[in-house]
Structure formats: structure tokens, C-alpha cells
Amino acid sequence: MDLIHGIVNVFEIHNLIYCFIGCALGTLVGVLPGLGPGATLSMLLPITLYLNPTGSIIMMAGILYGSAYGGSTTSILVNIPGEVGSVVTTFDGFPMTKQGRAGEALWISAVGSFIAGTLGVMVLSYTGPVLARHALKFGPPEYAGLLFFSLTAIVSLSGTSMVKGIGAGLAGMILSSVGVDPVTGVTRFAYGMVGAMRGIDLVPMAIGLFGISEILVSAEAGLAKIYEGKLGKMMPRGKELKKGLLASLRGTILGIPLGVLPGMIPGVVAYLAYDLEKKISKYPEKFGTGVIEGVASVEANNNAVTQGNFIPLMCLGIPTATPLAIILAALMMYGLKPGPLLFIESKEFVWTVIGSMYIGNVMLLILNLPLIRLWAKISTLPYKYLGPIILGICVAGAYSPRNTLFDVWVAFGAGVLGYVMKKNDWPVAPLMLGFILGPILELSFRQSLSMGGATIFFTRPIAVAFLALAVIVLVFSVKFLKRIPKEVREEPDQ
């Protein structure tokens, strides 16, 4: 009854307007690389003081889960991740565009996002408080075990050479350590550069490795258009539709519980979703060449994680990511206390916000589906016009998170690095995964050691379970890859 009452409240005209503005802004934020929901919410935070609490949080929530929808667009069309969670979408999304299947990729992305978003809100509605309590059992040793397990994805992302894949992953972890030591405060690998002391930001790194490197490869090849044929169907059908929808469900099921855990950013979980699809597939060697499951699972997973993030925020007052911390600040500015009492003391507010998420996901589907053909036509534009536009977007995207030219140079450097790696058959995906996981793993590992030394990992049941699972998956992955002929193993990010 509370949920139904909340949904009815959303249909008040002012709440609908706030919901629509949030969803539209979120989609735009996702499409524009580098802007990000965190930066957008921080800029809007002062404005929310002049809005009513319910409308304000409805709009901010819409921006957050709307950005997960929009992030797939540039990832699929021009190989530029719209936001961090969409990095993995480029692996199969951009190859689908080059095959003239951009419409199918965008369609399954939108529908998969809707499935994940709706199921995620249902979990928040019915089992949120129960799931959130389990997050409290995760300390540094458990996170270290979980992240070590996440690193096993490097094996399946290594392409033709496991040695190159592991080397790229280690290189990514080393690059992620540039800046200030999170424990001692000592500067590392900065070599006197002020910009490097702040560390290398994830956004310019991703834009360079995937976007700028693709521009360099295309320029060398004298590419006329990304796709020169006629645009085909805008909706997958038959077996392709079935495979895409099932992959969306699997990505959702994986993403919701992991979204509850603080620190599990969409970029990390997306790699796990992609790795899972590759492991259970009957044709893992085709991943990275335009497989619809690789797009569907990852995009659904991104939205599932985003919706899962609201569970600990609403039920325990624990923000699991920067955008959630900004929403927490907004709640506290209004005198609301996130946690178990929020559902008792501010019942109408909570259920109206949750109800808005159901309506918002429908709005996003309606917003995205009619634009698919328009977006898909971008892939047929002459590259002599499209290339400079993409480069301009890359530069703006690299500059905007921290407003520094150092990040622009990082993006160009990463672009050259990505170009050299692709030309020499080194996989780029493991480097990106190592870069994402490196700082989180280092901090969790060092905190664990300070708690009880190396033996602490073997005295915590959850940590032991993750470590054992990592070893099992690693062994099976190595054996499985050996069965695939070397000549058919493709690099996942090509």
C-alpha cells in the first residue's frame, strides 16, 4: 500500500516535472563524456535548497540512474565511454556499429537498462533493508578478497596472450598508483609534476585508451565512414533478441547485490558481468567482435548497480559512491536522516521517491527508443567531419572532471599508448581493469594488514570464500582458454 501511495504521489504535476528533468539531464550527462553524475549533482546541490525536498531528491535520483542509460550512446557509436560504467560497452558495442548494427546495440541497451532499472527498484522496494544489513559485514579483508576475485577477469580479457594480458593489467595498477599514497601521504611517481601529484584520473585515461586511440587507428587506415552500408533494423529479432534479453537478466542479477556494497563502482562490476557472459558462452572467441550479449549484460549491469546503490543509502545512510554522497548531503540539508528510521519518520517521502524511480525508468525508455535511428545515423557521417568532432568531445571530456590541462595531456598520452598496444596486439582491456581496481585493492589490502597481518585473510570466512573462488575461476579460465585455438582468440577491445 505504501508503494502504491508513493506512485500516486509521483503523478502530481510538479513531481512528474522534476522526474522528467532529472531523467533528461541524466541522459545528457551520460552521453557527454567526462561530465559525470557526480559533477552534475555537485553543481545542482545549491539549487536544491530552493526546491521542495521530495522534488529535489526525485530530480537528483533521476540524474543518477538516467546517466547510466545515456552512457551507452557514445560508447556504442564512436567508442568513447560516456561514463565509467560504459567502458566495457565499447568492447562489443562499437564493433556492432562498424557492422551496421548500431540500432540493435542501442535498442538492447535501452531495453536492458529498463529491465535492470525496474527490477532494481523492485528489490529496493521489497528487500532493501535486508540486503543492506549484509553490507555491514564487509570490512577491508572482505573487499580485498572480492577485488582479488575481480582481477581474475584479466585472464579472459587477455586475448591471444595471457602473458601480455597480465602485463597490461599490472601496468594499469602501476599507473593507478601515481599521486599521493593513500596511507602515508607520500608522493609517488610524480617526478615533480604538480598535476601528477593529484593522480591520474579515470575519465581521461578511459577516453584516451578507447576514444583517441580509435581516432589514430582510423586516421592511419584512411577510414571514410565508421559504417558505409545502409542502416539495418533498429531492433534485434529472433535468437538475437532472446540472447540479448537473457544476458540483460543475468547482468541485472549480478549487479543488484554487488551494487549494495560500498566501493563497488559500476566500472568494476561491469567487467565481472562481461567476464561471466564470456565464460558461459558457447562462442567466447567471438566476444569483442560484436556480440549482442556483451552489450546487453554490461548495460543492464550498470543500471542494476546504480539502482542497488540506493539500497544502503536509503536503508542505512551509507553512500556507496560519490554521487550518492552528494544525495546524502542533500537529504541532511533538508533535515532528513537516512537509515532505518527514514522509512518510519518520513514514510511518504521515501515511498514517493521510490515510486518516482518506477516512473523514471518508463520515461527513460520512452526518451531513448525514438532516438535510436537518429543516433545510429551518426555512424554513417563522413569521418573527415566526425573525426574532429569526436576529438573535440574527447578533449572536453578529459578536461571537465578536474578542469586541468594535465588531464588533457593524460588523455593524449593514453591515446598514443592505446594505439601502440593495438598495433602490437597488446590487449587494452586488462590495463583498464587494473587501473580501476588498483587503488581500491591497494587501500583494502593495506588496511587489512594493519588490522591483523596477512593471516587475517584466512580468519574471515567471506574473505576466504572469495580467495578460494578466485583460485577456482583462475584455474578453469586458464584451462578453458587453452582449448580455444590461438588464431581465433580475439582481443576483447578491438
**Count of alpha carbons within 13 angstroms of residue 84, beta-carbon side:** 26
Res 47: pLDDT: 72
Res 33: pLDDT: 61
81, amino acid identity: P
User: 491 versus 131: which is more confidently predicted?
Assistant: 131
Phi, psi dihedrals of residue 190, rounded to the nearest 5°: -90, -25
Instruction: Identify the DSSP state of 187.
Output: E
- Detail the DSSP E strand segments found in 6-156: none
Q: What percent of the chain has pLDDT above 90?
A: 19
Res 159: pLDDT: 66
CA distance 313 to 200: 28
Res 491: pLDDT: 41
HEC string for 332-343? HHCCCCCCCCHH
Element (DSSP H or E) covering residue 349: helix 347-368
Cα angle 17, 22, 28; round to 5: 125
Q: Per-residue pLDDT for 494 more than 50?
A: no
Res 65: pLDDT: 87
Q: Per-residue pLDDT for 263 more than 60?
A: no
HEC string for 315-326? HHCCCCCHHHHH
The model's confidence at residue 385, banded by pLDDT at 50, 70 and 90, is confident
The string of pLDDT tens digits covering residues 183-194 is 788 888 888 888
Res 322: pLDDT: 66
The string of pLDDT tens digits covering residues 275-300 is 889 888 888 888 988 999 999 999 99
The model's confidence at residue 485, banded by pLDDT at 50, 70 and 90, is very low
Res 315: pLDDT: 75
Q: What percent of the chain has pLDDT above 70?
A: 85
Cα 415 to chain centroid, rounded: 20
Element (DSSP H or E) covering residue 22: helix 13-31
The string of pLDDT tens digits covering residues 299-309 is 999 888 888 88
Q: Per-residue pLDDT for 123 more than 60?
A: yes
CA distance 372 to 285: 28
Q: Per-residue pLDDT for 488 more than 60?
A: no
Lowest-confidence region among 19-23, 125-129, 150-154:
125-129
124, with CB counted inside 10 A (0-12, 13-18, 19+), is: buried
Phi, psi dihedrals of residue 466, rounded to the nearest 5°: -65, -40
Q: Per-residue pLDDT for 26 more than 70?
A: yes
Partners of 382 in the beta sheet? 225
Q: Rounded to a whole number, what is the distance in angstroms from the first to the last CA of the chain? A: 50
195, amino acid identity: G
Torsion-angle region of residue 290: left (phi > 0), alpha (psi -120 to 50) or beta? left
Q: Per-residue pLDDT for 232 more than 80?
A: no
The model's confidence at residue 350, banded by pLDDT at 50, 70 and 90, is confident
Res 163: pLDDT: 85
Element (DSSP H or E) covering residue 255: helix 238-259
Contact criterion met (CB below 8 Å) for 152 and 162: no
Q: Per-residue pLDDT for 245 more than 90?
A: yes
CA distance 157 to 376: 28
Instruction: Identify the DSSP state of 382.
Output: B
CA distance 109 to 405: 33
**Count of alpha carbons within 13 angstroms of residue 205, beta-carbon side:** 19
Cα 406 to chain centroid, rounded: 24
Most confident of the ranges 127-131, 141-145, 165-169? 165-169
Res 493: pLDDT: 40
Residue indicated by cell numbers 573487499: 143
